[in-house]
Amino acid sequence: MSKKSSVTLTEGNIFKQLLKYVWPIMLANVFEQVYNLTNAMIVGNYVSKEALSAVSSCSIISNIYNLFFHGLGLGAGIVVATYVGAKDKRKIKESIETSLVIATFGGLLLTVVSYICIPYLMNVSNIKVELYDLAYSYLSIYVLGTASSLTYMMCFFILRSIGDSKTPLKYLILSCFLNLALGVIFVRVLDLSVTGTALATIISQFVVDILCLNKILSLEEVQFNFKNIDFNWKIFGKICSLAVPAGIQNMLIAISTMMIQSYINLLPNEYIAGIGVANKIAVFAYIPMGAVATVTINMVSQNMGAKEYKRAQEVIKQSIKICNIITLISSTFLFVSAPFWVSLFNKDPLIISAGAMAVRITVYSYIPLGWSHVYHGAIRGAGNVRGPMLIAIFTQCISRYLFVYFGLQLLPKNVYIIYTSSAFGFTLAGIVASLYFHNSKWTKDKMLRA
């Protein structure tokens, strides 16, 4: 791997390396979220309040597949990073090319599946009759970009696994500006309504695909040749063993959220829009932990591959500290400024009030959620995906849904039950993940902790 393409994470100052690689990933995650913000802001300001409600009511459906793709990319990144740490050039090439084959054929298959499932998922979500046509129009276009979403997600994790966090950032910045420009043109100029924003997203992601693939296939160790693709079934199995549980976990969390969204969709349209906007805003408090967790996975994977166990332990400790500090700052900022950010999407006072309240109740629970992300990232980086999966399903799927279900049985139509469900699930996730990491025999045996 050329020096410009990859960086070893098995030596050097840990704190400086974490900060160096966290900020490009953090900014990349910000621009990744701008996709969703852009779509909602365009339809909320240029189409109608109903269009914003429609996009908000089905946003979790569109995210189900993206969360699954995140799991696939995560698995591929762990495998590549492990071989980078072990300095096994042949396996690096095979793991990268195997990952790209998975992205290509998996993306095409999931495009068909996701399109077929749209009516069923919309019915489960209790999308209102007056919003159904707008929501269906948006989703039917959006899911056509499934293959491109999986490809760029896979490419981003591969690049980060070899120590390159700046290239994905550059491509995402370009893509976000393109998405914004095309969205305004398609909606404001060509009057394509919600389908225009979905179409703009697909085109923007496709541009990222081309750039990422060109970057990866030009790496010194890959030397890609269509006539001699190094697809390795053993590596395929290893990627799937790590990726599928993580992908299923993410999808189950999304499905649980979709079930909760089905209760939200029974509320007045202003609450649907407000809570939908709040979810898009509050996620910016999530971004720091996501970035730190990504770096933690890559650094732990490389150091486990290099058998630098003490260094891996220090990586985890430093990651928790950085995650706590950054998430506290971002959460406080969003808590104070929540009404302003919600107002950018729509000026309706009820939408602003509902959205700001949802943000303020949720944001500080991202601090304990950050613990779960870092600890789970370290555990996955060491090869264990079952423990994090079971914890996440219990805390963020089962417990969170039961909290809403029984809460609304006791206090029917109480919107505060829905507001606090995320805070409950996130806090529980952080506590259980911390207990598992510091007390399980597995983390001790794998030398993730002293």
Domain boundaries, the chain: 14-445
For residue 33, the one-letter residue type is Q
pLDDT of residue 2: 43
Identify the pLDDT of residue 116.
86
Per-residue confidence (pLDDT) for residue 428, from 0 to 100: 94
pLDDT for 3: 41
- Helix ranges (DSSP H) in 185-308: 193-217, 233-264, 269-305
Contact 369, 287 (CB under 8 A): no
Residues 6+ apart with CB under 8 A from 112: none
The structure tokens 């390396």 sit at 17
Are 220 and 354 contacting, i.e. CB atoms less than 8 angstroms apart? no
Q: What is the rounded CA–CA span in Å between residue 345 and residue 37?
A: 9
pLDDT at 368: 93
Alpha helices in 58-88 (DSSP H): 59-86
The pTM of the full predicted model, rounded to 2 decimals, is 0.70
User: What pLDDT does 5 receive?
Assistant: 46
- CA neighbor of 222 nearest in space, from 89, 355, 79: 89
Question: Which residue is associated with the tokens 């506290």?
Answer: 328
Distance, in Å, from the CA atom of 297 to the CA atom of 301, rounded to the nearest integer, reads 6
Provide the Cα torsion 116, 118, 121, 123; round to 10°. Answer: -110
Chunked into runs of 10 residues, the chain (450 residues) has average pLDDT values of 51 78 78 71 74 72 71 80 78 83 83 83 76 81 80 83 80 85 86 83 86 80 66 82 76 73 77 80 80 83 81 89 90 92 84 89 91 89 82 87 88 82 90 93 86
Contact 270, 354 (CB under 8 A): yes
pLDDT at 4: 44
Question: Which of 369, 388, 375, 382 lies closest to 330, judged by CA?
Answer: 369
